[in-house]
Amino acid sequence: MFYTMLKIITRKSPLALAQTKYVQKKLYCINPKLKIQLIPIQTKGDIIFKKFKKNYIDTKRLFVEELEIALLQNKADIAIHSTKDMPIQMHPKLILSGICKRENPLDAFVSNKYQTLQELPQGSVIGTSSARRKCQLLFLRPDLLITPIRGNIETRLKKLDQGKYDAIILAVAGLKRLKLKCRINEIISPTILLPSCGQGSIGIQSKLDDNKINFLIKKINHKKSYLRTLAERSFCKKIGSSCQFPIGSFAILKKNKLFLRGLIGSPNGENIIKGEKIGNFFEAKKIGKHLAKEILNKGAKKIVDNFLKTKKKSQ
């Protein structure tokens, strides 16, 4: 085991820092003598995201680009991300070298008026900027008014408390990591809201050729979480998705089998195409690709093509 200085770069948001400190503790557990320097930065996305009005901004890239540049310029050894916020297409010199044990990957219903999504009266206002959540909510309840909401978790909760929304949808994992589990009214079943790929997992990114660092990260990698995330990201990669496209994927492991569910939907929720695939856990990547092909062949390709045409016109 080697003793050295490890530089970890992260966003400055409370959730990002909480996740980074979690990774830091894991690293200290395997090497108490390891010296770790945290480098919190404010990304371009943190600074200007609230100014964007268009729907088709590559928001994921805005929040990770500077972290990746720091890795490539050897200013940091690893970067910590919410895996669901990581772009599917990564710089060829960087890898997702590890995944920490996954927290609950599902979505949470948060409200000061109602206990469940089902209780919402007709015309209720729900705050979410996720195309995935909006699509599935409108498919289930076309009577709801889905309104964008921006900012970190604390900011969104503040807006809810100010009465701007009847309810908001947030990731269970983020609320739990910020010690805000008490704000969860209902954990929404994946049969209603299929989560985003990698949701609930903390991703560790490093340089492909940094063998020493990658060997270290391998020691804190949670294999089952990694395989689940790998299958989900493989599904999304084959689709060619972005965070502005209604797509969800969710994998579970049972013994040696991996069960993957995926969906693609139209932005207005009028059409959703779902599918499932089962296979051996060591074929996680292949399972994701095969499920994506099946769903595209079932009619989802038309949804994707229409989305891309709309995106091109808006630019």
All structural domains of the chain: 1-100+202-221 (3.40.190.10), 107-188 (3.40.190.10), 223-315 (3.30.160.40)
C-alpha to C-alpha distances, 3 to 26, 49, 70, 97, 213, nearest whole angstrom: 15, 39, 22, 20, 11
The residue annotated as part of the active site, out of 58, 77, 85, 161, is 85
pTM (two decimals): 0.90
Residue 253: which pLDDT band, with cuts at 50, 70 and 90?
very high
How confident is the model over 267-271, as a mean pLDDT? Answer: 91
- Does residue 46 register a pLDDT over 70? no
Of residues 4 and 40, the one with the higher pLDDT is 40
Category of 108 on φ-ψ map: left (φ > 0), alpha (ψ -120 to 50) or beta: beta
Question: How far does the chain reach from its first CA to its final CA, in angstroms?
Answer: 51
The answer to whether residue 85 is catalytic is yes
